[in-house]
Structures are given as structure tokens and as C-alpha cells.
Amino acid sequence: MKITGIHLLRAHAIAQTLFPPTTLKAAIKRLGFVQADPIRSPARAHDLILRHRVKAYRAGDLERRYASLDIEEDALYAYGFIPRTTWRLLHPRKMTGLSKMEEKVYETVCRLGVIHPRELETHFGRERVINAWGGHSKATTRALEALHYRGLLRVARRDQGIRVYEVASSSVESVPPLPPLERLRRLIVVIAGILAPVPQRTLQANIARYRRLGNPRAALADLIREGKLQQQTVEGMTYVWPSRSRPVREEPPRVRFLAPFDPVVWDRRRFEHLWGWPYRFEAYTPPSKRIRGYYAMPLLWGDKVIGWANAQVSGGQLNVEVGFVGKRPSEKRFRSELELEIGRLDALKTHW
């Protein structure tokens, strides 16, 4: 497919990931990745992402049906939910030997089966260590996370948002891993497809983590040369996407509030190039320095992101405030579509 301008590029970006609502299992397979985030404002990121793509989706449906969806939690280019076929490409992760704490935690999980992090306190106490953000985490929780990252443990389910673990081999069919270079090539195509069309600089930055499997830049160049990925420069920025892409369609005039981690808006470099203004996630920005709000969700109107929405639940009622980069659209159609989107967001809260 030849892309000739920003308008077609926007249409391509939307067509790749915003599809007619389907089943939960089919939506996750088609998305390829659903990012997880602990903030609930007004719902968790994966709920806000899936509500646009799953028929009659309600907050918490993913956790309730997790065991039946053939998916795993893991880190791809971010942390989230992925099809098991992709998860197998991530493992084994070659890392240094286990620490004494990790060995003891692993032995305990092997002995007890499915285990909640809180249960480990009775075995190891509440020792705390510095986490990646400079705060403190329980040493046992850190050990569980490390074992999970290595592929020795998997998330069996979540209890009120908290990950409950089990030994990975106990419930997942063991499949011999592909050769490292083939795993790398497939992971590059997967990530390029999820974020398509993705700026080449963004793709290179996110596949660099897989250096242990081979040379990511060389593998990317080979995939482009072989025609498995397409590459094109549009208005000074080079984009990459899989050759088998979904056809571009004209986006109907509809309002959508997108999660900050939705594939449509995930890459801030692409966002600014496509829609002409900088969007930043400000939940971790000091309140005095926030421009658009704690959890401002980009507001998509047709194929344009024209502003943002902040939503809060107070006294069981959903309150939504919207802001705009330019003028607020004056069309009657926009007003009615905005009300419909607020209603759809409100319907999500059945299980908030």
C-alpha cells in the first residue's frame, strides 16, 4: 500500500486497530497486545482499550475470563496481555542465575501450586527492597516478578487486580522454542503490526531489548528487503508496517475517548506527527505542572484527535470534562456523538 499524505496515514493507523466490536478472545488476537496499567481513572487501561473492540464489554471481563482466553501476562514492548503464541516467542529469556531468594520462592510455588503474593509473607516475612521507581517493594513480590519475567512462573489469575502466580510448566503446553533469530524476526513483525504504521525510530527502540536473540537492526532491514515489512517516508518521518495490512477505510464521524495506552495514540512521536499537537500522560506529573489532567484521554472525532476527556466517578455518578486543542466542534452531530460516548463509558462501570 502506498501512503501519500498525513490523511491517509491517519486512516491507516485507525484501520489497523479500531475494528468493529467482536468477541473478547477475537479482539485480543486481532489487537495482538493489550497494555495493563494499575491506575483506574475511571477504569483500568485494558478495560478502556477493550471497550471499543468487544461487544458489551464491562470492566473486569478480561480478569474474569482470563483462564479461557489462551493469553498470558508478560512484557512485550510494554507490560500487558498477549496471545500465548506471542508469549512463546519471548521465552526462554537467557539471564543470570537465580538469587537465593528467587530459588526459595520458586521452590515454595512448586510445592504449594497457585500462590498469592500475600501467602509468601508467612514463609519469608515482610522484608522490603528498593524497586525500579525508587520506592519500596516486598522482597518476595520482587522475586515473583523476576521469576515471572524469566518464564518460570506465569500469572494464573488476578484477585482484585493482584497477580496470583503458578509454575508456568504446570498449565501451559511445552513447545520447543524456535531458533533465536526466527523468534526475533517474528517478534519484530508482531510489534510492527500492533503499532502499525509505526515510526521506524520507535520500532528500533522497542526491538533493541531483544538483542540477545540476534541483531535487531539487521533483522529489521532483512524483513524490509524481503518484503515482509513495508517502509515509507511521509512528510519527513519514516514508517514501517507489515505487508499484509488491513484496507484503509473512511472513518465515520464518531467520538471515542481513548486510553492513554491505546494503540492509536501509544507512540507520542507518531501522535504529534499525525495530529499536530503533543499529548503527554500526566498521571505522574506534579499537579501544578499538569496541562490537561491526571488521566486525560485523547478525544478521537472521526479520524482526528481534537482534544481530551477527564472522567471521574463520584458518588456512583460518572462525571466527564472535555477540553479541546482548537475550537470545540459546533455541529449537532458532534454533540450527540459526545453524549453517546459518555453513555458508553458510563455503561462500562457496571463492575467498577
Distance CA 143, CA 103 (A): 9
Is residue 131 within 8 Å of 142, Cβ to Cβ? yes
Q: Going from the N-terminus, what domains does the chain have, and what CATH number goes with each?
A: 100-170 (1.10.10.10), 255-351 (no CATH)
| Three-state secondary structure call for residue 182 | helix
Distance CA 102, CA 350 (A): 39
In the chain, the DSSP E strands lie at: 34-35, 71-75, 79-83, 128-130, 136-138, 153-159, 162-167, 198-199, 229-234, 237-242, 255-257, 297-301, 304-314, 317-324
Is residue 128 within 8 Å of 138, Cβ to Cβ? yes
Please give the chain's pLDDT, 352 residues, in tens.
666 688 889 999 999 999 999 999 999 999 999 999 989 888 999 999 999 999 999 999 999 999 999 999 999 999 999 999 999 999 998 777 899 989 999 999 999 999 999 888 777 755 554 444 344 348 888 899 999 999 999 999 999 889 999 999 866 667 788 999 999 999 999 999 999 999 999 999 999 999 999 999 999 999 999 999 999 999 999 999 999 866 677 767 899 999 999 999 999 999 999 999 999 999 999 999 999 999 999 999 999 999 999 999 888 889 999 999 999 999 999 999 999 999 999 999 755 5
Q: Decide the pairing of beta strands 79-83 and 34-35.
A: antiparallel
Report how far apart, in Å, the C-alpha atoms of 46 and of each of 16, 210, 211 are. Answer: 18, 25, 28
CA angle, 307 as apex, 302 and 311 as ends, to 5°?
105
Distance CA 241, CA 248 (A): 13
Cell numbers linked to 66: 482470563
The model's pTM: 0.91
